[in-house]
Amino acid sequence: MARAAARCHHANTYCVNCDLLVGLDDLHVIDVDRGDGDRLTVRVESARMVMGCRTCGAIAHSHGRREVVLIDAPCFDRPMKIVWRKRTGRCVEPACPVGTFTEQNHTVAEPRALLTVRACRWAIRQLRREHASVRGIARQLGTTWNTVWTSIRPLLKAMADDDTRFDGVTRLGVDEHVWHHVSERPIDQGGRGPKMLTGMVDLTTDAKGRTRARLLDLVPGRSGQAYADWLEERGPGFRDGIKEATLDPFRGYKNAIDDKLEDATAVLDAFHVVKLGSAAVDEVRRRVQQQIHGHRGRKGDLLYGIRTILRCGVEKLTDRQRARLDLAIAADERHDEVLVAWLCAQQLRTAYQADSPAEGRKIAEKVLATFPTCPIKEIKRLGKTLQQWREAFLAYFDTSRANNGGTEAINGLIELQRRIARGFRNRDHYRLRMLLIGGGLTSPHLK
């Protein structure tokens, strides 16, 4: 049973305090009701005044009021519904094509909207700042998923189509991720298209030298052509502003940078370089394990027991871990090959841990000079790989240690949002959601 409506005690005028509490521009509260579902229903209207025809400007005659129901942002931990008693007018100018019309207030709600403007802004902020799901937002608003998404999607698309968000980018990162795990058939054949999406991230530093990473765009596929096409679409003004372009060791991205960003410096990401070193050590350990025991690592095998220790930095090892490492290496002289590989990987790490870029560059140049001649084939292959990426590898020490860390952070946010949403089926929706949570959409209402 619905509770009785509450009404301000003022008999003839609107209550300023009630209007201030509800906060709808140019609208006044006339009563408040709370139904069985604890939803607040607030009835509002605008004051009586002369109305002019929107087409010809002639004074219109009053044609009464009509009620429009809107979903508003939650209030006092309850869903809120606005019943707006809109004034209607009738134009009496014979030559005017307009017969009757209804008042509009774009600061409250767009024509034929289901949600108020502030409800849409509240929902977008919840998605971006609180990592809420659309279904969770719909539950708080007391409506459906479709109602929420169809209301905020045009706003997100308008922000995504605003090219000014690409202004001021001087350092650009690129990386890929998987956005679905089903059929890669074309969308018109029932699939979802390519599994991989290439993401471009703004890694420009601020006045204090800090990186404020933000996702710029997502395009289908993982190829140099996909990256090059996106750079071409941005225009020469954007491309000329890029000074550094960070990437992982993927030749396709490097070719795109060389073709489209001729004046930019390509920088190989430090994380991926160290990862290559750790992978080489792991390959040596597995090979030696097979040569000695004839099978892959098992519980009780000394080399298998130190597999995680070999991935750790030497400065982070505890005394117990050092003892286990020494014991495993000393058990068999054939284990020395694993120790040498691990020391090479540690030398590669120290290049990035040096106190100054100049000191780190010296270590990196020593790595480039010695690794390709190492008798351990995995380290030799690593040295040849780094030789092929020599300019991008050394560029890290000449570009204020530019890296792809911000890009990896954005990928972490994308993974989180995909889990919250329980996956996506529509790539366009996915792109808009990820641009929002990745900071790629700008609006004064998102601050």
Q: Is the dihedral angle over the CA atoms 285, 333, 383, 352 positive or is it negative?
A: positive
Q: What is the pLDDT, as a whole number, of residue 8?
A: 62
What pLDDT was estimated at residue 262? 92
Q: What is the pLDDT of residue 244?
A: 96
pLDDT confidence of residue 324: 95
Report the distance separating Cα 70 and Cα 77, nearest Å: 18
User: Residue 95 has what pLDDT?
Assistant: 80
pLDDT at 408: 95
What b-and-e string marks burial along 78-108, b requiring 16 or more CB atoms within 10 Å of the CB? ebbbbbbbbbebebeeeeeeeeebebebeeb
446 CB neighbour count, 10 Å cutoff: 14
Rg (alpha carbons) of the chain, rounded to whole number: 31
Start-to-end CA distance of the chain, whole Å, equals 41
Distances (CA, A) of 251 to 99, 168, 240, 392: 65, 27, 22, 11
| pLDDT (0 to 100) of residue 176 | 95
Residue with tokens 């000449």: 398
Phi, psi of 243 (to 5 degrees): -100, -40
Q: For residue 98, what pLDDT is reported?
A: 81
Residues of the chain with pLDDT under 70: 1-12, 36, 447
pLDDT of residue 1: 41
Task: Give residue 166's pLDDT.
Answer: 95
